[in-house]
Structure formats: C-alpha cells, structure tokens
C-alpha cells in the first residue's frame, strides 16, 4: 500500500495517510467536493518512565475530527473544512498553469484523544497536522473535471521536440484550449490557433525539403497524382485558410462548432509534425 504522508503525535506516535478519495456533491460554478482521507495509526505512542527498574508507559489514541487545506503550486485554493468548496475560478487557475499531470498539496488539520492504556478514561485532547502531495494523472484529473461539471476534455498529448521555439507553438495551443473550454470566445480560439501556426511556420519552411523527404520516404506515389507530402501541405493550407474566418475576415461569423473543428484539425496536424520533428531530431 502506497503511503501518501505521515503525521506524528505525542510520545513518538505515528499516523500514516494511506488513501484519498473524492466525491463531487455539486457541480460548478460552485462545486462542492467531499474528500475522504484514510488514516492508520502505525506506531503507538509510548514513553519511558522513571521507575526502577525502567519500564515503558504505553498510550492509546482515538482520532477525532479533521479538515483539509488544498493547495496548488503553493497557492491555497480551498480552505480547511471537511467538504471542499471549489469555485469555477479555482478550476480556471489550475487549468491555466497545468500542462498534463497535476500534483495537489493537502494539509490535514485534526484532533485526537490520548489516553494511558491502563486507564482509558483519562483522555487528553491533542492536535495534529500533516501535509502530503497527491499526484493525479491527466486522465484522472480530466475525469474529475467532468464529474465537477467544469469541462469534458479530450486528452491530447503532443510530443515536445527539443527544438528552439516549439514551446511557443504549444503555449498558443494551450491558450486556444482554455478559450475553447470556457466556450465564450470562439473567435479567440481561432486567433490563438493562427498564432500557433505562425510560430511553427518558420521552422517548417526552413526544413521544408527535409520534412517532405521524410514524409515521402517509402511512398513513391502514383504518376500524375500529388505526393503524400504535397497532400499534407494542402491539408495544412486548408486549415490555415479556415482559421482566417471571423474578425480576420469580417464576412464570417465564428461559432463554437467552428472553433471545435479548427482546434481538432490543428491539433491533429500539429501532432503529426511534432512526431516527425521528434523522430528526425531536426
């Protein structure tokens, strides 16, 4: 069993955090989540006495109420109570800095009763605190977002080639995703996607022949028909043309469905290029 964290009580006692589970009670814009923490007393408190001969005094522990603080990247996002309130602003903040998997920091603040084993009626109220980090995979986190009503997201993994400037491409893509999930600025989604392609274009142009050669490798093609690399270039140009609707070309209205379509098309082709660049280490 994985141990998430440890708490210490008086006289060298030890409590382990063994599990954590969440239950969404209500959805955004003001989600409420019940968090259950598994605690296990793994080391009983004891202390040496001054008796002659020396002996050991043992204690029992009864764990009382506890509450949680929830933090992300050092910022408190939910206060210390049993059921965590999660306003939509909290989700937006976390999503603005999250790249894939996410670590959430929990602090347990609780109480316990300490009593001598030989006299369980002599109770002493004490307090303990414990911090631990829980890692959520991207899939786990997105499932939680769906349960909380924030967003039903797709898991899209784009390899990050070790190429100067490609991170900028993904930054614009992340901004497009945020606008897409907020569903209030479809034209803004297209704007961020255009910036993403604009950032990638110089690299594609500088490596055009090498990229085409690798795409066409093993694919001699057919006479009087476009090569595979030419077809992919045509797809890219069609996507870029589609991204020009909206304020960039005032004769068009951008709907959420337009934004969704262009985002999916862009991500698919950007994934293709990123894998190609990663494979060939341009």
Q: Is the pLDDT of residue 90 over 90?
A: no
The pLDDT-based confidence of 254 (bands split at 50, 70, 90) is very high
pLDDT score recorded for residue 39: 86
Q: Which of 79-93, 144-158, 186-200, 217-231 has the lowest mean pLDDT?
A: 144-158
What local confidence, expressed as pLDDT, does residue 70 receive? Answer: 87
- Per-residue pLDDT band for 282 (boundaries 50, 70, 90) equals very low
Question: How far is Cα 83 from Cα 65, in angstroms, rounded to an integer?
Answer: 13
Q: Quote the mean pLDDT of the chain.
A: 84
Element (H, E) at 47: strand 46-48
**Beta strand 102-116 with 56-72: parallel, antiparallel or unpaired?**
antiparallel
Instruction: Give the helix/strand (H/E) hosting 179.
Output: helix 166-182
Q: What SS3 state is found at 244?
A: coil
Percent of the chain with pLDDT over 70: 90
Q: Is the CATH number 3.90.350 carried by domain 5-147?
A: no
Task: For the chain, give the percent of residues with pLDDT over 90.
Answer: 24
Domain boundaries in the chain? 5-147, 166-280
| Section 32-43 average pLDDT | 87
């Amino acid at each position: 069993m994985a141990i998430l964290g440890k708490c210490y009580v008086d006289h060298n006692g030890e409590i382990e955090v063994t599990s954590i589970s969440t239950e969404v009670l209500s959805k955004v814009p003001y989600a409420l989540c019940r968090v259950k923490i598994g605690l296990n007393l793994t080391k009983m408190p004891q202390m040496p006495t001054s008796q002659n001969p020396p002996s050991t005094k043992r204690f029992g522990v009864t764990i009382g109420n506890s509450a949680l603080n929830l933090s992300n990247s050092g910022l408190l996002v939910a206060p210390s109570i049993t059921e965590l309130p999660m306003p939509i602003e909290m989700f937006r903040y976390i999503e603005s800095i999250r790249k894939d998997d996410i670590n959430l920091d929990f602090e347990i603040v609780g109480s316990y009763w300490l009593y001598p084993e030989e006299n369980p009626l002599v109770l002493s109220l004490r307090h303990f605190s414990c911090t631990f980090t829980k890692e959520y995979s991207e899939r786990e986190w997105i499932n939680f977002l769906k349960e909380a009503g924030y967003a039903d997201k797709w898991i899209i993994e784009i390899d990050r080639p070790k190429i100067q400037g490609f991170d900028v491409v993904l930054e614009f893509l992340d901004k497009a995703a945020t606008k897409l999930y907020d569903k209030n600025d479809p034209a803004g989604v297209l704007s961020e996607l255009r910036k993403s392609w604009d950032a990638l274009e110089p690299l594609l142009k500088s490596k055009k022949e090498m990229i085409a050669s690798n795409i066409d490798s093993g694919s001699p093609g057919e006479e009087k028909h476009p090569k595979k690399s030419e077809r992919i270039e045509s797809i890219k140009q069609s996507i870029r043309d589609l991204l020009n609707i909206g304020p960039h070309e005032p004769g068009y209205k951008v709907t959420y469905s337009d934004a969704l379509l262009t985002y999916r098309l862009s991500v698919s082709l950007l994934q293709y290029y990123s894998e190609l660049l990663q494979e060939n280490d341009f």
